[in-house]
Amino acid sequence: MAVNREDLAKRVQASYRKLTDVAEDLNSASDKLVLSVSKMDSVLKRLNLGISSWVHFSGGRSPDDSAYYYEDVGYAKPGGRWGLAIRTVSGDYNDPDNDTVETWPFNEAPRLLRVRAILKVPELLDQLVEDATGIIKTVKERAETVDALATAIDELAPPVRMTNVGEMMSAAPPSAKSSGPPGSMSPSGRNSLPVGPLPPSGRNSK
């Protein structure tokens, strides 16, 4: 069957024009998504959370169930900066300690991953709340444990011996510090004598 080259060229040209328009719209929509994510990153950064959380937005297994893969959206610190992130994980059930993991800041991930991941951001925020609440409970429990240990050690520790006057003065109450050493005169005491007119000089005292 002969190919009509002229018809083929026209078809390619028409498709390219459509593709040009679609690409422009796609890039415009993608730029808007970048700005929205950057704004959310800025808002989350103010909270100074300092914890990582992840939720799946895609995944699956090999036909023989020996391997797996999944894709996550999360809040993490890829590249040393906290923010929204995307990662892909793949591995073998027989060797789970050697997963292959690739992580990006959200706006640097492949476009298709970003489009699929963005709808899971509300679920990610819920996960952050849950994880942060769990960490708060753990930190409080650990702090109580440390306080109990410190108290137990303090009961057995010998009393602190002060070896010089400076340490004794620093340990004294404020009233004792201001009173000065026994027998000393306060600065005002030095000039506490009544002041009156001076007597005439000896020459005119008659």
Q: What is the pLDDT of residues 162-192, one digit of tens each?
A: 666 665 566 566 665 555 555 554 444 444 4
The verdict on residue 62 lying in a domain is yes
The Cα–Cα gap between 23 and 201 comes to: 110
The Cα–Cα gap between 139 and 52 comes to: 16
Better-predicted residue by pLDDT, 198 or 42: 42
Instruction: Provide the 8-state DSSP code for 66.
Output: S
pLDDT above 50: residue 205: no
Better-predicted residue by pLDDT, 96 or 12: 12
The verdict on residue 141 lying in a domain is no
The verdict on residue 101 lying in a domain is yes
Q: What percent of the chain has pLDDT over 90?
A: 63
The verdict on residue 142 lying in a domain is no
The verdict on residue 205 lying in a domain is no
Is 52 in contact with 74 (CB distance < 8 Å)?
yes
The 10s digit of each residue's pLDDT in 60-78 is 999 998 999 999 999 999 9
The 10s digit of each residue's pLDDT in 100-127 is 999 999 999 999 999 999 999 999 999 9
The verdict on residue 60 lying in a domain is yes
Confidence at residue 119, expressed as pLDDT on a 0 to 100 scale = 95
Instruction: Provide the 8-state DSSP code for 164.
Output: S
Q: What is the mean pLDDT of residues 84-100?
A: 93
Domain, as residue range, for 61: 11-135
What are residue 3's phi and psi, to 5 degrees? -100, 125
Confidence at residue 179, expressed as pLDDT on a 0 to 100 scale = 52
The Cα–Cα gap between 125 and 83 comes to: 12
Question: In terms of residues, how long is the chain?
Answer: 206
The verdict on residue 197 lying in a domain is no
The Cα–Cα gap between 111 and 30 comes to: 8
Please give the tally of structural domains in the chain: 1
Confidence at residue 2, expressed as pLDDT on a 0 to 100 scale = 65
The verdict on residue 25 lying in a domain is yes
